[in-house]
Structure 1
Amino acid sequence: MLGKTYDSQVCSIARTLELVGERWSLLIVRDALFAGSTRFTDFQRNLGIATNILRNRLDGFVEHGIMQRHRYSEQPELFEYVLTDKGRALAPALIALTAWGDEWAAPDGPPLQYRHTVCGSELTPQTVCARCGTVHDPAEIRAVPGPGMPTDRADILLRMQREHGLT
């Protein structure tokens, strides 16, 4: 969806930005996830987004399987946009971005909190080690080449990490 692509990046963050990294995109997903918005008019009214931009974002979400379009009226022809499993899977990322914003960009405190509907407790993002369950400091985290990383790119990553004392 971005005008500039990240073709040279072998990175899932860059690939994700291609799908949801444009201005307004994550706010549309936020409203669909947490406010129940499904209709074009709901998104437009709640966000104050220009209709041409909203149309482009929703069309892109449908094209990439993040939302499905369902007709709810024939005269006039109107659609709702419903998140797919792929779209709903963005919830943890939005909660993590919210937590970062609450700490670093909300001088008066969190403007919005996410709560678990079953017990009412506040949700928090967690970085959890699959083996020991704890990560106390982001400095304990290292990026390592995965199965989708071409060998030449893996070598560059490892060399950079050695040069910066990260291995």
Structure 2
Amino acid sequence: MPAAAKAQPTRPSPRATPKPAKSQAGAIRRERSCSVARTLDIVSDAWAFLIIREAFFGTQTFEAFRAALGIPRATLTDRLRKLTQLAIFRQVAPGSSLRKEYRLTKMGFDLYPSFIALMQFGDRWLAGGKPAPLTLVHVSCGCDSHPIVACSHCGESVAARDAKYRDGPGAGRHPAKAGRNTRRASDGNRFQLGRPSSVSRALEIIGDKWSFMVVREGFFGNRRYDKILTELEIAPNILTDRLNRLVASGVLRRRQYQSSPDRYEYLLTDMGRDLYGPFITMLQWGDRWLSKGKPPLLLTHLSCGHDFHASVNCDRCKQPIVAADMRYRLTYDPKAFGALGPRSVDS
């Protein structure tokens, strides 16, 4: 993602390719190539996200996923099949057992920093004054950790105003695919199933395609209704709905810039700008796994002057975090949520 003052930035399904989306006038809608959108295509499906999250907590079998989430069998079968086709999971038959386990691949484990970046955002902004559900413990340094999104070159933290961007070799526009998560789920609370989760809270805000794209336009410097409408080729009623929701959630604020008639622009709040870290972390994952070596966007860190990608680092030892090096202390009783609980350490 670009810095807030400037701007530009889907994983196609391995199965049948959906037809390109059409505008109300019947023309094929074209959208900006974007590695963040490709990442969200996977994790913004509530059930797929919850299954991946449970896998990070050590869940591996069909029955364990079903018990932890209360997910219908047919739905779980469908999502596990799709996540296996996408190479997020691989199926393993341990020993002589005929019962297969679903284990995260390297590609799947590499989603962990994106989940942690979203978790930190949710802890800061969406906890409602309650303790964060998890305290992270970085085994490598033995410290409680509050990971930061950092420059891969200098290791310093990166915020929206600390970077600039330019087009990469994958920049451009392509016909939009139907079937992306364009509608807000009527049961948004589904993201909260199984256990309290700051990642779930974050995805409730940006987890549908249009909400994400509207926030992304804010990072590209597009603030005015007509500009966003033209850039996204979005239906006016959908844009109005998403802008109102994002204002209500505190991600955007509305500012009048004209009267007679009244016109407003939509600016990122401090909370909205703090989504930059999760966005560029998802950008890194999408660039690595879904861009075929042609990232749509290249980022430069203004502080050190070097091109960089997002690295999620322990705030204490400054080393990049990986799932295998992290443990947790819980602020909730997992049994109260029907969950087994993650790999935890004593309080």
Following TM superposition, by how much is the alpha carbon of 1:45 offset from its aligned partner in structure 2, in angstroms?
1.1
1:15 matches 2:198: no
Question: Which of 313, 326, 340 matches 1:128?
Answer: 313
Whether contact under 8 Å (2:314, 2:321) holds in the other structure is no
Q: Paired residue for 1:117?
A: 302
Q: TM-score, normalised by structure 2?
A: 0.42
In the TM superposition, residue 81 of structure 1 has moved relative to its aligned partner by 0.3
Matches of 1:143 and 1:125, distance apart in 2: 23
State the partner residue of 1:63.
Answer: 248
Q: Report the AA paired with residue 258 of structure 2.
A: S
Other structure's SS at 1:24 match:
helix
Tell me which stretches of 4 or more aligned residues in structure 1 moved more than 6 Å. Answer: none
Which one has a larger percent strand, Structure 1 or Structure 2? Answer: 2
Q: What's the counterpart of residue 33 of structure 2?
A: none
Match of 1:25 in 2: 211
1:130 to partner: Cα distance: 3.3
301, 323, 332: which one aligns with 1:138: 323
* 1:36 is aligned to 2:36: no
Return the alpha-carbon distance in structure 1 between the equivalents of residues 263 and 293 of structure 2. 40
Distance 1:155 1:131, change over 3 A: farther
Cα displacement (A) at 1:151: 5.7
Say which structure, 1 or 2, has more relative contact order (CA 8 Å, 6+ apart).
Answer: 2
Contact 1:71–1:79 (Cα < 8 Å) also in 2: yes
Q: CA deviation at 1:135?
A: 3.5
Provide Cα deviations, 1:1-36, integer angstroms capped at 9, x if missing partner: 642122434101111111111112222212211x21
Q: Which amino acid aligns with 2:287?
A: D
Match of residue 271 from structure 2: 86
Query: Is 1:3–2:186 an aligned residue pair?
Result: yes
Residues 32 and 83 in structure 1, CA contact (< 8 A), matched pair in contact too: yes
Query: How far is the alpha carbon of 1:54 from its aligned partner?
Result: 1.0
Amino acid in structure 1 at the alignment position of 2:284: A
Separation in 1, partners of 2:304, 2:315: 25
How far residue 136 of structure 1 moved from its aligned partner, in angstroms, is 5.9
Distance in structure 1 (CA, Å) of the matches to 2:185 and 2:267: 22
Alpha-carbon contact 2:256-2:263 (below 8 Å) kept: yes
Is the 2:327–2:343 Cα contact (8 Å) retained in structure 1? no
Question: Partner of 1:165 in structure 2?
Answer: none
1:101 aligns with 2:286: yes
Q: What per-residue deviation string (whole Å, max 9, x for no partner) do you get for residues 33-84 of structure 1? A: 1x21110111111111211111111100111111111111122221100110
One-letter amino acid of the structure 1 residue matched with residue 232 of structure 2: L
Please give the alpha-carbon distance, in whole angstroms, between the structure 2 residues aligned to 1:25 and 1:123: 26
Which ranges in structure 1 are unaligned for 5 or more consecutive residues? 163-167
Cα distance, 1:155 vs structure 2: 8.4
Aligned to 1:76: 261
Measured in 2, the distance between the counterparts of 1:120 and 1:135 equals 21
Percent pairwise identity: 31
Q: Is the 8 A contact 1:2 1:18 kept in 2?
A: no
Residue 88 of structure 1, CA deviation: 0.3
